[in-house]
Amino acid sequence: MFGKDNGFTTEQMSAWFSIIKSLHEMAVDTPYGNVEPVFEYFKELLLCHSVKRPPYSVALFSVDQVKKLTTYAVNTYFRHFKMYKYAFTPKVRLDLSLEYVGLPVTPEPSEVGEGDEEGAGDTAQAVDEPDKTEEEAIHEEEDTPAVKELKAIINSALTEQVQQLKTSVDQQIKAKDEEIAKKMGISADAPGPPKSPKPKGKKGK
């Protein structure tokens, strides 16, 4: 419709389609934003088709037609550039696999048949034995003098901290009691609650 409305010839329409195709291929060539390089390339292509300088360029479009083509491209293709780029750019996915040098290859899991149950049991026992050996070694290490000394230091430090905390709490409680007693006008060191004075009654004659 745009070409017919502006009276473009068949050669001009063919060149215009080729320009848009080249722009689109450049746009979707990378997933990164490249609207500015694509627009610069668009201007170069229009210049090559609007100036008569063989063999580098050919005067296929007039100056007025170049203005119309530029306005049309900006209002259509470049206005929706991100949409076209998102829809037509191939998605890049990375499948990463690591191989460590010097480590044995992990065997693929296989189903254990009925005939292999005995072998599996022996393997389980063989696996349990190293675990027991490791536990015994850990217990032996715990019984060493260095471990005992470390435990004693830790217990002493914890006991000291607990004692300090208890003393601090007792002092805070005592200070609070003294403050309350002062407000009530009684002595905080009194062994029991203050006795209220007995009311003096009048003796009958």
* Distance of alpha carbon 65 from alpha carbon 54, whole angstroms: 20
Pair of tokens at residue 190: 């009194």
Helix axes 63-75, 10-27, angle to 10 degrees: 40
Check whether 88 has a pLDDT greater than 80: yes
Mean pLDDT computed over 116-134? 52
pTM, two decimals, is 0.45
Question: 3-state secondary structure string, 32-85?
Answer: CCCHHHHHHHHHHHHHHCCCCECCCECCCCCHHHHHHHHHHHHHCCCCCHHHHH
Question: How would residue 127 be classed by pLDDT, with cut points 50, 70 and 90?
Answer: very low
Mean pLDDT computed over 60-86? 92
* Distance of alpha carbon 29 from alpha carbon 90, whole angstroms: 8
- Name the residue among 64, 65, 55, 56 with its Cα closest to residue 11: 65
Pair of tokens at residue 3: 């070409």
Better-predicted residue by pLDDT, 172 or 201: 172
